[in-house]
């Protein structure tokens, strides 16, 4: 679920770099974090507890990047 949100936000230029204030252009190393995994009688259930991603500015002279589970904080609310 959050992978699609991250991809769409980058495509729509909704993530803003905290240093240069321009849209973040890339991401790397996405992972869903598991809160718990239950396996029993052939069933597997995984509860997720958010996700982590490395956001990369990627604009000309800005080298900002951050590995975070709080990627929603970089979304432009406008």
Show me where the domains of the chain are located.
Answer: 2-74
Distance, CA of 45 to CA of 66 (rounded, Å): 30
And the tokens for 66? 């951050």
**Three-class DSSP category at 76:** coil
pTM for the whole structure: 0.77
pLDDT-based confidence at residue 55 (cuts at 50, 70, 90): very high
pLDDT score recorded for residue 48: 67
8-52: per-residue pLDDT in tens?
Answer: 999 999 999 999 999 999 999 998 877 676 766 667 776 767 889
CA distances from 30 to 2, 19, 35, 73 (A): 9, 22, 16, 16
């Amino acid at each position: 679920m959050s992978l699609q949100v991250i991809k769409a936000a980058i495509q729509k230029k909704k993530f803003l770099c905290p240093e240069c204030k321009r849209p973040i252009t890339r991401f790397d190393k996405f992972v869903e974090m598991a809160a718990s995994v239950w396996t029993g009688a052939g069933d597997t259930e995984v509860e997720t507890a958010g996700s982590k991603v490395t956001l990369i500015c990627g604009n000309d002279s800005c080298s900002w990047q951050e590995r975070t589970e709080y990627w929603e904080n970089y979304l432009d609310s406008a």
